[in-house]
Amino acid sequence: MGVSAKTYVPVLKWRQGEYQALMRLHAATKAQVKPLIEVTPPEWDFETHKFKKTIDSQLTPFASRLEKKWGTRPAFLDTSLLDPVARMIGSVHPLTYLMDEARSRGGTVTPVTSLGRDLAHYNAIASALAMDGRGVAVRVSLDDIADPGFPATLASLVNSLGAALPQTDLILDLAAKNFEPLADLIALVSALLQSSPVYVEVRSLILVGTSFPASMGEVKVGSHILPRQEWKLYKGVAAALPASFRTLTFGDYAIASADIPGGDMRLLKPSATIRYTVTDGWFITKGNNVRDNGFDQYRGQCGTVISSGHMAATGYSAGSDYIRDCHAKTKSTGNLTTWRWVGTNHHITRVVDDLASFHGP
């Protein structure tokens, strides 16, 4: 699957809530999605002072889950969150292991790299590229492309991996950039993308970012609409670029921030929160912490979403339907993972529709 202006590239940590969200998408929505999967490292156990899993036990289920949850549909695969010195049993590089396992199950996976990685990583990328012939994705920052030498650096990197620019997906990831003032950022990004032929020569050009809060602690109890600045940025950049410019694809971090939440879970008290994507924003309902107040409060929050004026029609997304059913007490209040898949599933569905509307027939 090549990517187009209507393709959506959500950056998703490969955790249960996220892959359940992908699995429960409608078929027509799946056809417009190419996720960028970030493989997460083993979690640290603050009680035993060691990792809860080895790198082998952490990564072994990946390929089977990818097959069950996403089938053979295309995806990007990024291992940048893993410890660069981590190796599987037999000294196998984690990226090599993941690509080999996905390939054995018919997975259609494009590996993701970036500037400044180590030689072992680049060798694993080159090996996968040679075996699969699907090219490579290069994930870069705004600072990277602002460097006047970036076009030459990119061409050199891609060439060293055994590829060429027409086999390269270039992912400009602003991550949790300060989006204000938005007009200035739109002008900067659009100017940089027109500064070199390299941005036209690559196979695809994908603009990614997130303005979702780094912590729900930043959000007060109650109901709020938070702006999706990355979506506003994308629309602004797409409009600012000449009509003759190449296709620009959109990506974000769905209903999450760019970083992996840290801290000792024994001490954290997460709140009951529904993250519901609406026009240009997220409708957030935040309750009290679930450890002291339980999950039953979600039923009332579901009612708040339903009566907000933002609720989608029945059947729109599996996530929306779950909210409606939970309020009606025909579904359970679940757990934190439940509400991650609910919000993510609805978000992906909404963004695919947003892109279709923005770019037209």
Q: What is the pLDDT of residues 142-175, one digit of tens each?
A: 999 999 999 999 999 999 999 999 999 999 999 9
d(CA 203, CA 351): 22
pLDDT in tens, 51-101: 889 999 999 999 999 999 999 999 999 999 999 999 999 999 999 999 999
pLDDT given for residue 24 in this prediction: 98
Provide the pLDDT for residue 265: 61
Binned at pLDDT 50, 70 and 90, residue 361 comes out as confident
The per-residue pLDDT for 90 is: 95
Euclidean distance between the first and the last CA atom of the chain, given in angstroms as a whole number: 19
Residue type, 289: N
The CA distance from 183 to 171, in Å, is 21
Which one has a higher pLDDT value, 99 or 215? 99
Cα within 13 Å of Cα(145), Cβ side: 24
Strand order across the 271-278 sheet: 222-227, 281-289, 271-278
Whether the predicted pLDDT of 299 surpasses 60? yes
At 270, the pLDDT band (50, 70, 90 cuts) reads: confident
Residue 221 Cα to chain centre, angstroms: 26
**Residue from 24, 110, 99, 2 nearest 69 by CA:** 24
Average pLDDT, the chain: 95
What pLDDT was estimated at residue 264? 58
The pLDDT assigned to 47 comes to 75
* H-only helix segments in 256-335: 290-293, 297-306, 318-327
Average pLDDT over residues 330-348: 97
Angle between helices 297-306 and 318-327 (to 10 degrees): 120
Q: Element (H or E) spanning 120, and its range? A: helix 119-132
Kindly provide the residue ranges of all beta strands, DSSP E only, lying in the chain, ordered along the sequence.
8-13, 36-38, 44-45, 50-51, 74-78, 108-113, 136-140, 168-173, 204-209, 222-227, 249-252, 271-278, 281-289
**27 pLDDT higher than 80:** yes
Nearest to 34 by CA among 1, 82, 81: 1
Percentage of the chain modeled with pLDDT above 90: 88
Q: Tell the residue number behind the tokens 């959000």, with chain if given.
A: 219
pLDDT at 338: 97
pLDDT at position 336 is 93
- 49 pLDDT more than 90: no
DSSP state of 5: T
Two structure tokens written together for 346 = 């609805």
Confidence of residue 50 (pLDDT cuts 50, 70, 90): confident
- The mean per-residue pLDDT over the stretch 229-238 comes to 98
Who has greater pLDDT, 214 or 66? 66
Nearest-5° angle of CA 162, CA 165, CA 253? Answer: 105
Token pair recorded at residue 213: 């809060």
Collapse the DSSP code of 192 into the 3-class scheme (helix H, G, I; strand E, B; otherwise coil) and give the result.
Answer: helix
State residue 39's pLDDT score: 97
Q: Would you state the pLDDT for residue 51?
A: 81
Q: Is the pLDDT of residue 1 over 60?
A: no
pLDDT at 262: 66
Label residue 34 exposed, middle or buried (CB < 10 Å: 0-12, 13-18, 19+): buried
Structural contact between residues 124 and 84, judged by C-beta atoms closer than 8 angstroms:
no
C-alpha to C-alpha distance for 357 and 5, rounded to whole angstroms? 11
Q: What is the C-alpha to C-alpha distance for residues 343 and 349, in angstroms, rounded to an integer?
A: 10
What are the tens digits of pLDDT across the range 306-318?
Answer: 999 999 999 999 9
Whole-angstrom CA distances from 66 to 14, 80, 109, 345 are 9, 18, 10, 16
Look at residues 174, 177, 172, 233 and name the one whose alpha carbon lies nearest to residue 202.
Answer: 172
Instruction: Determine the average pLDDT of the residues in 336-358.
Output: 97
pLDDT at 185 over 70: yes
Tens digit of pLDDT for each residue in 116-140?
999 999 999 999 999 999 999 999 9
